[in-house]
Structure 1
Amino acid sequence: MHLRPMQLSDIPVIADVSAETQLEDEIVEFIAPHRSKYYTSYRDGFVRRIHARRLKPGWIYWVAETDHGDEPTALQKMRGEEELGGRLIGYAAWTRKGSRGEGDDVAHMSVLDAEFESCLAGLKSFYWDFFNLDWSMDPSKRAILTGLFAQTFGDDIFPEAWLLANVVTHTDYQRRGIGTRLVQWGLDQCEAERVPCGVESSFAGRRLYEKLGFRKFDDLRYGENEKETMAVMVWEPPGLEGRWFHKAKAAADILETGASSMLVT
């Protein structure tokens, strides 16, 4: 298995991997309660969002692709098949905050073409969202999470950072270290640039991030009576441990204390 930058032609396959793998994810369950009934609409939503993000400056996608001779899946073994390679089995979506947030160039596209495609992709996403054409989604719930995400890594504490938006490994290839390798790419960038890495983690992903050295400084609460939570976590380069974490934790504690005081009064 190897990693490589995602090409625009990879998006349909990556959307398939995302839709299938995240079908039972608690965050996806919250924002897309009708995903099973309207599966095609649910899957096409990944195509639109990935396409729009990929064309924005500052966004970088890396994909994991199998090589010939890799360990076959359980189903391949049962059928007596070998791994022939060339299958996209996961990806990570990164965005860079700050002065180096230009991202990489979209392969085989001029700057003008990339800007035009980005504009079209953004308009398409806006059109679908404005008219609620994705029947798998609950627009109000998606708006709740979008608002929460906008507050997590503010410029006051995190003016420069890499943010991990998604890391997904196909269920047939999990527990092989693929997610670790996809995340490690970004951590290597952070170490080289001496900036932190931030992520909002579901319950399922938290163990991976903790193993890699991320620390939780806050919880995002959502759902009915805010019973569901996501962990807001940060990774800091060696020698800079605590530089961002302590400030972020203190700010989160102040907000939590203020919210508790309001409830009491």
Structure 2
Amino acid sequence: MHLRPAEPSDFSATASISVDAFWDDELYAYTNVWREKYPEHLRDHFLRQHRLRYWSAGYVFHIAVTDEGDVGHFPGQGEKVVGYAIWQRRGTSQTAKRWQKQTPWALLEQTLLEASNYYYDLVRADKSLDYNRLHLFTSEATQDFDAIPEMWKLRNLCVDPKFQRRGIGSMMIQWGQEQAQKERCPIGLESSTMARKTYQKNGFRVYGNTYYRDSLSIDVPMFIWEPSGMEGEWGMQGEK
């Protein structure tokens, strides 16, 4: 397996992987209640999300692909996309700004995709989604690492279920850890239930909770990873 930068031609594969990997995720089970009837609508959600984040300033999109000799790689088929990670560099430092540079073409693509997504949501075109539940969930969201001005945020991490437990997730996390170590800033993320052990195994600690609603029974913990020698510098959510 190896990592490489994603290309627009990869998004069909990453969207399909997302449907398989997140089908039973507690958040999508709550918001996309009609996904069994409209699975293609859930897939289209991921496809639109990946396109937008690929073109948006400050985002870094990597995919994991198979090599010759890997289990599940068939001779002559070419590389197979088996996972992806989407990172966002947040902050106003000169280091952050270097990651946030954007070409005029990318800005145009981002603007058009944002407009398309706005219209898509306006007409409630995603038939797999309960928009009222989504609004309830997002309207009660707590602050998202607002106390940490400079950081890498892992926005999405996904591995094809058929290729899980092979260290692919850890390999993709390592890229961000190397960058954060160089830049002396932390990594933040929100985790699903299924992924928590992966992050803890890779040195992340619980920072707080982004969402917690007794009525919804949804708990999404915030995790943080800190560069060597800076452990504990960023405290816990809500500390002064």
Distance 2:141 2:214 in 1: 18
> What do residues 122-165 of structure 1 show as CA deviations (whole Å, max 9, x unaligned)?
111111111111011122332344445561210xx210000011
Which of 75, 80, 83 is the equivalent residue of 1:87? 80
User: What is the deviation of 1:5?
Assistant: 0.6
CA RMSD of aligned residues (A): 2.1
Residue 10 of structure 2 aligns with which residue? Answer: 10
Distance 1:32 1:180 in 2: 28
- Bigger helix share: 1
Residue 248 of structure 1 aligns with which residue? Answer: 237
- Report which structure shows greater RCO (CA 8 Å, sep ≥6): 2
Distance 1:83 1:148 in 2: 50
Which of 155, 167, 171 is the equivalent residue of 1:177? 167
* Identity of matched residues, %: 33
Residue 133 of structure 1 aligns with which residue? Answer: 125
Q: Which AA in structure 2 matches 1:234? A: I
Distance 2:166 2:77 in 1: 17
Query: Which stretches in structure 2 are left out of the alignment for 5+ residues?
Result: none
Distance 1:211 1:249 in 2: 25
Question: Does structure 1 residue 165 correspond to structure 2 residue 155?
Answer: yes
Question: Does structure 1 residue 97 correspond to structure 2 residue 90?
Answer: yes
- Worse overlay, 97-106 or 113-122: 97-106
Q: Which AA in structure 2 matches 1:44? A: D
Question: Size of the alignment, in residue pairs?
Answer: 237
User: What is the deviation of 1:54?
Assistant: 1.1
Residue 228 of structure 1 aligns with which residue? Answer: 218
Residue 76 of structure 1 aligns with which residue? Answer: none
Report the secondary structure of 1:218's partner residue.
strand
User: What is the deviation of 1:86?
Assistant: 0.5
User: What is the deviation of 1:33?
Assistant: 1.0
Contact 1:69 1:84 in 2 (8 A): no
User: What is the deviation of 1:68?
Assistant: 1.1
Contact 1:72 1:82 in 2 (8 A): no
Length-normalised TM-score, structure 1: 0.83
Residue 259 of structure 1 aligns with which residue? Answer: none
Contact 2:208 2:236 in 1 (8 A): no
User: What is the deviation of 1:92?
Assistant: 0.5
Query: Which stretches in structure 1 are left out of the alignment for 5+ residues?
Result: 74-80, 252-265
Distance 1:208 1:170 in 2: 15
User: What is the deviation of 1:8?
Assistant: 1.2
Structure with higher Rg: it is 1
Q: Which AA in structure 2 matches 1:88? A: V
Report the secondary structure of 1:34's partner residue.
coil
Length-normalised TM-score, structure 2: 0.91
